[in-house]
Amino acid sequence: MKKILILALAVIMAGTMAACGMGDVGGATSESSSKTASSQVASKPSSDSYDDSLAGLEKYLAANTAISGNPTEMKADFIGAKSGAKYQTSFNGNNNVTIELYEFDTTSINPTAKEVLDSVKKSGAYSIMDQKVSAVLSDSGKYLMTYKDTGTSDQNKAHQKDVTALFQDFKK
């Protein structure tokens, strides 16, 4: 009985070690696959088929491969927004992109929201807890996005531009 248990543990341990030696599975992508991802963003579905809501924006960006995974709900009231979601995703790296999306109630702007939106319109950033946060507004002015990428390659910068263009174009 002991020999069977030892043999089973040896097989499990060997499998574990083999999996560790596989490198960065799902991490950095090759140049051709990242070009494919960039071209997928370029051939986008229209935002007309999505609800004018944060959930609709999320579905639209996911359909365009701009975001993926499960969002973390954000405390949107810190910036005067109605709701918010944060996505941690990868592009030419391993969880190197953080995208935060916020929806504002444009029919009833509170003072905090006004300050944040005015600041982003003026300088492309807002301050929260003494930190400057770069952000962009959608063309409709109803949504705000922050995009942070630890990757610095030209491909990463082009991907950020593509995602920003998709975001700004949502429900013009």
Q: Give per-residue pLDDT as tens, 113-150.
A: 999 999 999 999 999 889 999 999 999 999 999 999 99
Mean pLDDT of the chain: 82
pLDDT score of 100: 97
What percentage of the chain has pLDDT greater than the value 70? 76
Asked whether the beta carbons of 90 and 71 are under 8 A apart, the reply is no
Query: Which pLDDT tens digit goes with each residue over 5-18?
Result: 576 556 566 555 54
Q: How confident is the model at residue 107 (pLDDT cuts 50, 70, 90)?
A: very high
pLDDT for the residue 7: 62
> Residue ranges of the domains in the chain?
28-169
DSSP bridge pairs for 98? 88, 148
Say if residue 26's pLDDT is above 50.
no
Q: What is the pLDDT at residue 122? A: 97
Q: What is the pLDDT of residue 44?
A: 63
Q: Which whole number is the average pLDDT over 28-36?
A: 40
| DSSP per-residue string spanning the chain | -HHHHHHHHHHHHHHHHHHHTT-STTSSPPHHHHHHHHHHHHSPPPGGGS-SSHHHHHHHHHHTTS--SPPEEP-GGGGT-SEEEEEEE-SSSSS-EEEEEEE--TTS--HHHHHHHHHHHHHSEEEETTEEEE-EE-TTSSEEEEEEES--SHHHHHHHHHHHHHHHHTT-
**Quick check: 88 pLDDT over 90?**
yes
CB of 109 closer than 8 Å to CB of 82: no
Q: How confident is the model at residue 1 (pLDDT cuts 50, 70, 90)?
A: confident
